[in-house]
A = this chain, B = another copy of it.
């Protein structure tokens, strides 16, 4: 399926091996030693291919699929076509993701330091590091084992990078400590000065930004993202956060573990997110706020107050979900020529 010019496939794997690595179980009756060679979508999969069902919307495609095997929730197993081998998982998408990672693992670090890279003599490189052409590693940088650094990236003075981390092409890092298994995408900017100055009609006066950026393990930072270093405290990206492209994160922001920050959203200085909070695309959060754990901020929202843990907010200024949709509905009635009172009145 995947274009072999761009993707190297591993495998094949037995059904039993895929079950083991993905936290699934082989359905009774299926052959544990069935060999699978690739992954594919339900409607395109065939012999030797593994697919998945994660959404009841695709039940018909599932029942009609010619996939040799499929990851599915146990409750839907009886909808499978005859002859399909099943991997049963209560988290079928997660199990599928682990199988797909087995077929298409991240490239290994080659252990080659390109002669066209510029690595300062005082930088410390771990075992098996790969550094591509055009990369600049400045004095005192510490690069962990098996780190891969793509062409033309820049690693600033004394920056530390944990093991198995990947730095994308043309990214630049300074004033930061990066954990293990982090993925920094191309063009990301990490550690530059925050936007801090004393406004003055004569001349704005820059305030030195004396903190760092700390990125914990297993974080992803999307393409052309900007994460400013702290003004005094550090900017902190917690373990396992997923940050999409073109996101802006201001100085002193702290994200708890597992937050999801979608494309083109922005977080102003000193705001804190609890773990697993979600900021959807193009949304913005003002400075010095607290967003509770598991809170969800809808796309394009503008948040000007703290958000309670586990709640959802929408709109600008952002409102709780129920209130926002009532407002949208009310506006709809008004413009259809009704007054917002009488029998059309929502009442609330």
Knowing A41-B232, A335-B330, A346-B335, the reply to whether A185 touches B175 (Cβ < 8 A) is no
Interface 9-residue window, one of A25-33, A72-80, A222-230: A222-230
Q: Is the CB of A208 within 8 A of B248?
A: no
> In the complex, A348 Cα to B151 Cα: how many Å?
60
Question: Is A240 an interface residue, CB under 8 A from the partner?
Answer: yes
Q: How large is the interface on A (under 10, 10 to 19, 20 to 34, 35 or more residues)?
A: 35 or more
Question: Is A201 an interface residue, CB under 8 A from the partner?
Answer: yes
Chain B positions within 8 Å of A186 at CB level? 154, 172, 174, 189, 192
> In the complex, A204 Cα to B219 Cα: how many Å?
10
Question: Is A85 an interface residue, CB under 8 A from the partner?
Answer: no
Q: A301 → chain B, closest Cβ, in Å?
A: 9
- A253-273 interface code vs B (CB 8 A; 1 in, 0 out): 000001010111010100000
> In the complex, A3 Cα to B233 Cα: how many Å?
11
Question: Is A16 an interface residue, CB under 8 A from the partner?
Answer: no
Chain B positions within 8 Å of A174 at CB level? 6, 169, 186
Q: Is the CB of B337 within 8 A of A327?
A: no
User: Which residue of chain B is the closest to A150 with respect to CB atoms?
Assistant: B154
> In the complex, A328 Cα to B317 Cα: how many Å?
8
> In the complex, A198 Cα to B54 Cα: how many Å?
11
Interface residues of A in 199-239 (CB under 8 A from B): 199-201, 203-208, 210-212, 218, 220, 222-224, 226, 228, 232
Chain B positions within 8 Å of A335 at CB level? 323, 326-327, 330, 346, 348
Interface 9-residue window, one of A61-69, A89-97, A123-131: A89-97
Question: Is A244 an interface residue, CB under 8 A from the partner?
Answer: yes
**Chain A: interface secondary structure?**
loop
Residue of B6, B114, B220, B300 near A284 (CB, 8 A) is B300
Knowing A248-B264, A260-B199, A331-B327, the reply to whether A299 touches B281 (Cβ < 8 A) is no
Residue of B96, B103, B151, B345 near A154 (CB, 8 A) is B151
Question: Is A295 an interface residue, CB under 8 A from the partner?
Answer: no
> In the complex, A282 Cα to B339 Cα: how many Å?
32
> In the complex, A263 Cα to B193 Cα: how many Å?
13
Question: Is A13 an interface residue, CB under 8 A from the partner?
Answer: no
11 A-B pairs (CB sep. < 8 Å): A1-B232, A116-B136, A151-B154, A154-B169, A192-B222, A223-B228, A248-B263, A248-B264, A263-B266, A326-B335, A331-B331
Q: A96-B207, A154-B169, A284-B299 are in contact. List 12 more A-B contacts (CB 8 A).
A: A6-B157, A93-B207, A94-B200, A97-B207, A100-B207, A114-B118, A136-B169, A185-B192, A187-B224, A187-B226, A223-B228, A330-B335
